[in-house]
Structure 1
Amino acid sequence: MGVLSVVAAVLVFACAAVWGTVGVLGVTGKLPGNRWFGVRSPETGRSEAAFVLANRVAGPGYIGAAVILAMGGLLTLGVDSDWSVLFALAALVVAVGTVGIVSGLGIKAAQGLPAESTGGCDCCSGGDDHVPASGCADDKADSPADDCGQSSCGSCALQGMCETDTAATKR
């Protein structure tokens, strides 16, 4: 057994431990909102409830990816060949694909939750200094697209309305 096989096996076991832990915490609803682990996207960042829901949906897939990685690590260590590192590589590719798919499902679930009202603009990332007293920048506008490009406020309500007329007609 080569050194490369041992290193590859240790790396996939480490990834399996991380993804397995994230999956279990996600399924149980105990994964705290953070910047590094779990399903993170603008949709899951809207509220704690969206983050928890997305990770509950994706959790079983994370656990499945951890099992795939663990099996790949065992095969990498168990096969006495210079090519055994390919088991770790194949397991990593399948696990990353699995996590990508279940994360997409989690994001889809989070999109279905209504946005929590914070008294101002729910989607502002730049603070309240650019928000009029009435709330979002598009509250006084004739069209929600009137504030396109002026701030991040209202971006949740816009949902693709910032396209130019020429871009919309090219579809």
Structure 2
Amino acid sequence: MLWVVNAVSVAVAVLLFVLAGLWAVVGIRGLRGTLPRNRWIGVRSAETMRSDEAFGVANRIAGPGTLGAGLILALGGIATLAVPSGWSLAFGLVSLIVALVVIGLVSGIGVRAAAAVPVDDDGCSCCSGGDAHGHAADEDPSGPAADCGTSSCGACSLRGVCAGDSAQA
């Protein structure tokens, strides 16, 4: 029975070390401003994903906490391996929970900082209620979806798709 506890302890410790390494890399790259905007790692929310600057600000703010969470996980992995009893799993679980709470807190702070970054408005709000200046979508014939005749979310990314050449021509 003890060998099962030891095997599970080793597996938990490896998981904690892998997560600690990942969060350390994210924290360091976030602090240095070299973490590119992406969909998988870093602080990701609607506020942070709207621009590279907002993503960078959020991850610079969250970087120290992310490094701290990585340190907590590494210490939890060491404690999981060092304690030879069933308590080793408790150390691993507690360190994971504490690290997740820290990540949640610093991510929230990062999202608030990203929300304070001014929006680089090129006249496109990308949603059906018109532009950021309060004009209705049908009042602005040069709006993001004017070439399609409708205004809907995602229109900025589709700008120019409906105009010009037809795919079937």
Per the alignment, residue 139 of structure 1 pairs with 135
Deviates more, 1:81-90 or 1:71-80: 81-90
| Matched residue count | 137
Matched ranges for 1:104-119 at <5 A: 104-119=108-123
Unaligned 5+ runs, structure 2: 138-150, 155-169
Unaligned 5+ runs, structure 1: 142-149, 154-171
Per the alignment, residue 61 of structure 2 pairs with 57
Tell me if structure 2 keeps the 8 A contact 1:22–1:38.
Answer: yes
Per the alignment, residue 141 of structure 2 pairs with none
SS at the partner of 2:84?
Answer: coil
Deviant stretches of 4+, over 6 Å? none
**Which structure would you say has the larger Rg?**
2
Tell me if structure 2 keeps the 8 A contact 1:131–1:137.
Answer: no
Q: 1:88 aligns with which of 74, 88, 92?
A: 92
| CA RMSD between the two structures | 2.2
Q: How much has 1:46 moved relative to structure 2?
A: 1.2
Cα deviation, 1:112-145, whole Å, max 9, x if unaligned, reads 1110123322xx27xxxx687xx4595138xxxx
TM-score of the superposed pair, with normalisation by structure 2: 0.74
Tell me if structure 1 keeps the 8 A contact 2:47–2:114.
Answer: yes
Per the alignment, residue 39 of structure 2 pairs with 35
